[in-house]
Structure 1
Amino acid sequence: MTICTRELCVFSFYTLGVMSGATEEVATGAEVIDLLVAMCRAALLSSRKSLIFEPFPSVVDPYNPKTLAFSPKRKRYDRLQKALDSVLLIRKMAQGPYSEIKKQMDKIDPLAYPLLQWILASNRSHIVKLPLNRQLKFMHTPHQFLLISSTPSKEACFQTAKKLYGSTFAFHGSHIENWHSILRNGLINASYTKLQLHGAAYGKGIYLSPISSISFGYSGKNAHLDLPGQPRFLESRNLNCIALCEVITSKDLQKHGNIWVCPVPDHVCTRFLFVYENGQVGNVHINTQEAVIHREILQVIASKLY
């Protein structure tokens, strides 16, 4: 699951108008748009941006369609931040026709709207806000999303393994600055790589936990986002999030108390994402292995949200 950054592809998309309706056609709602923009912003503000702001945008210059205004070959972080700030100033994306929104952005910065299109079109995850009657109440946040970040081939491999070994649920915590890449590249095994942020005390693999408090500890709950303007959703400048994943319960899954390590990336699939504002967290005592919790998760999944 990768984003094609070949210039021929980017120019073809621009010329054919493939991305022109990305904003209008996005079916996930304003809160998801806000979340994608906030995650992009967090990655861009990170001191680790040269590593984690991946993929870097490929955006055609609206004034010169034969050149790229933003390119992975020439990473202009300052100019990108200026354009993203302009996107953040126009936070009323759920009101009025999108043609008017584009006009507002164009007046501030001609690269703002093309960047917004890229943020939406480059997202390779299926992310949808859960309606209130389908939310997991024990997570104590209204910002709950269905999150399917696996490719169809990975999901097929996962379902095959599930039939053989079964599965369960566990949390995965990661700083909000990492989610720009996760939503486009999926969860990866970052142990012993330059992308590793925390230690790998229990070996190489994707780290998970059935206990919410442990994953909250990895979510960077004190990360600050100084967002210009007044956002319509996710109004806090302090956001953190954790994912609820389904994991294959084969012998490969290593359990060290409440810290689990899965060395097989295809054996972990995201199912939900929970976002918290103002540094607050939900119930830190959630245990996905408790029967009542496990049952509620299965009920939401079975409600044909996929």
Structure 2
Amino acid sequence: MSFSGSEDDYQNGDETSSEEERDNFSDDDLGAVKRPRKTEVSGHLIMELEMANQLLVPYKESKVFELDDYHLVITLPLDFINKRFREWWGLSDPCLRIRLAFNLAKYRLGDMPEATASMPYTKRNIAMGAIETFIKDDLTKYWSVRSEDEQIGDDSFFAAFIDRLVARMKELGNYCVQCGIQHLGAHPLLSVCDHPLCYFQRDRLRQTFEYSMGPRLWADSAQLLNFLFFHANDYRRSLICKPDPLDDVNLKEEFRDYGEISAALRGYCTRCVFSTWANYEKFRDDPLTKKKADLLYWLSDRFPVICRLPPRFRVNAMSTIHQYVLPPVASEKESRFQANLEAVNGKKFYAFHGSPVENWYKILCEGLVVCSGTNLQLVGAAHGKGVYLGKEPQTSEGYARGHSTCSPRYYSTNDSAVECQNTEHYSRNKHIRQGTYCLALVEVANDPSKYRDHQWCYVVQDPDILQIRVLFIYVSGSAISKLPTDNFSANHPDMLKVQEAMNFFIQGDFHERLAAVYDSELDEKALEEENLPSHRLQC
């Protein structure tokens, strides 16, 4: 927007006189400019007008507006946003600056101000773009309908504007950063919706995808979720395949029944699809492989954040190199767990949970739930209703192995290592070939009123005091070393490794943590300390 003048005009002898400038204001405006004014709105917004070119408005004692002849600058502290969210969204500054530029003489004529959002120490990123888009859309919607009786700098419009902005920023991840449509469910990380124009057309989103996941990490996670989803499609599919692609509006056009989903899962290695973003695009653009690429992308968007642990973070006593951490990423369930943990002053302990491999797709997507007395129950409930946790891994191992339908059929129909010509993929896929079972290390908020302690297990009535932290995967012929849960007490080396892994992912920018999880120097050193061959680093 062009302005009728600037500060330099006055310094260089602009002929505009103060009398001529006064003609640009109404009598009410001039009265507001000349007289100091202090008003309160809803008990929390205070406006102090001290001079013609400056307006100070403490907003909830910490938010400041500054008004000169041509700009309204809003400085909005971001302490109302969860610190982890700010790190994940790349908002490193403590404050957001919003500049609204307009001609005061035309204030009442309805000319909408030009709006920009910025942070002095934050580079332009997707979060800033989403915030600025919301600001412009909000002004477009409400500017023309504001009261005609408002004076220049009247507080009511901007107070409501800030309230709407704060409400949106608290849940910024719940909206597509491209088109602004609201996602289904809570999305702590910034993402785009399923519309092709949103997640395929913008180069910056492609770069973010590849930067945040990394080729090796993302390919490995994709292979795991594909494996777990495959086994959720067994004879109990209607119960345990949740979320179900057949229920998604955007996938119904591609998949009419389970047969088409099954066909899309077969034929080639999932790691090849997600080795890089460019490779994924090739599969997506090929009519013969598009369905599998779309299905894998859909699955990845609904799984929790999960990362395979490199050697330096592994719990060696668990006798498997296939360990995956689920870091405490902000989500609705994580928030409920943290609230329960805070209620008991941070007191917690760890236990194990075992379940047939076909159940883990649903468990990881929705969390542990009480199945006793429902059609999801597979075994008896000797100690009553609740989620059963073993005090030792051997206890949970029996539940994981004894009722599983997992078999070598996975590799006869899906992700065939024989068909994959990549030797590294072949090596990293082979641990699943003989059949697999899974155990989880579960963090428990120590609230005795919500669980019962028995000789060999805990029975938890409230699943909100539970969060899965590590997933251990075993081939069917392997054995677990005897490991009591005392090894996971607060100061035990095994527990410290688990805590170190989780802390690694929540400190600093989350995308950078994912990209930097594999450190060849540190991981090689960890392997040397374990006296393991270095080729096992390829995991």
- Which bin holds the TM-score, normalised by the shorter protein? 0.7 to 0.9
CA deviations 1:172-212 (Å, max 9, x no partner) are 00111111111211111111111112221111111101111
Amino acid at match of 1:135: R
Q: Do 1:35 and 1:234's aligned partners in 2 also have CA atoms closer than 8 Å? A: no
Q: Say if 2:35 is the partner of 1:35.
A: no
Residue in structure 2 matched with residue 47 of structure 1 by the alignment = 235
**Structure 1 residues 290 and 110: CA distance shift in structure 2, 3 A:** closer
Which runs of 4 or more aligned residues in structure 1 lie more than 4 Å from their structure 2 counterparts after TM superposition? 19-23, 290-294
**Structure 2 residue aligned with 1:185:** 366
Q: Deviations over 1:194-236 (max 9, x none)?
A: 1112221111111101111110111137621422311723422
- For 2:297, the equivalent position in structure 1 comes to 117
How far apart are the structure 1 equivalents of 2:471 and 2:270?
A: 25
Counterpart for residue 158 of structure 1 = 340
Query: Is residue 60 from structure 1 mapped to residue 247 from structure 2 by the alignment?
Result: no
**Matched residue SS, 1:112:** helix
Is this contact kept in 2: 1:216–1:281, CA < 8 A? Answer: no
Report 1 or 2 for greater relative contact order, CA contacts < 8 Å, sequence distance ≥ 6: 1
Computed over aligned residues only, the root mean square deviation of the Cα atoms, in angstroms, reads: 2.9
* Residue in 2 that maps onto 1:287: 484
Which one of 291, 306, 320 corresponds to residue 141 of structure 1? 320
Q: In the superposition, relative to structure 1, how do residues 295 and 12 fare at CA in structure 2: closer, same or farther (>3 Å)?
A: closer
Other structure's SS at 1:215 match: helix
Of 187-196 and 11-20, deviating more is: 11-20
Shift of 1:249: 2.7
Distance 1:133 1:219 in 2: 27
Preserved CA contact (<8 Å) 1:157 1:266: no
**Structure 2: tracts of 5 or more residues without a match:** 1-182, 186-191, 506-539
Q: In structure 1, how many angstroms separate the alpha carbons of the residues matched to 2:359 and 2:200?
A: 25
- The alignment partner of 2:253 has SS state of strand
Call closer, same or farther: CA 1:273–1:154 in 2, change over 3 Å. same
Given the alignment, which residue of 469, 472, 478 partners 1:271?
469
Shift of 1:68: 2.9
Say if 2:274 and 2:280, in contact at 8 Å, map to a contact too. Answer: no
**In the superposition, relative to structure 1, how do residues 50 and 292 fare at CA in structure 2: closer, same or farther (>3 Å)?**
closer
Letter in 2 for 1:118: W
**Whole-Å separation in 2 of the counterparts to 1:247 and 1:85:** 38
Asked whether 1:255 is paired with 2:453, we answer yes
Taking the aligned partners of 2:253 and 2:193, their CA distance within structure 1 comes to: 12
Residues 159-238 of structure 1 aligned to structure 2 (within 5 Å)? 159-163=341-345, 166-220=347-401, 223-224=406-407, 225-227=409-411, 228=414, 229-230=416-417, 232=425, 233-235=428-430, 236-237=432-433, 238=435
Judging by fraction of residues, say which structure has more helix: 2
Contact 2:219 2:271 in 1 (8 A): no
Q: Give the whole-Å Cα distance in 2 for the aligned partners of 1:277 and 1:305.
A: 28
* Aligned position for 1:305: 504
Q: CA deviation at 1:286?
A: 1.1
- The Cα of 1:99 is off from its aligned counterpart by 2.7
Whole-Å Cα distance in 2 between the matches of residues 290 and 128 of structure 1? 23
Indicate the SS of the match to 1:35: helix
SS of the residue 2:345 aligns to:
helix
What is the identity, as a one-letter code, of the residue corresponding to 1:186? G
- Residue 241 (str. 1) matches residue 422 (str. 2): no
Cα separation, partners in 2 of 1:291 and 1:280, compared to 1, 3 Å: closer
Counterpart in 1 of 2:81? none
2:184 is aligned with 1:4? yes
Aligned to 2:150: none
Between structure 1 and structure 2, the one with the greater Rg is: 2
Secondary structure in 1 matching 2:471: strand
Among residues 88, 100, 105, which one is paired with 2:279 in the alignment? 100
- TM-score normalised by structure 1 residue count: 0.82
Per the TM alignment, residue 69 of structure 1 is displaced from its structure 2 partner at its CA by: 2.1
Task: Give the number of aligned pairs.
Answer: 285
Task: State the TM-score, normalizing by the size of structure 2.
Answer: 0.48
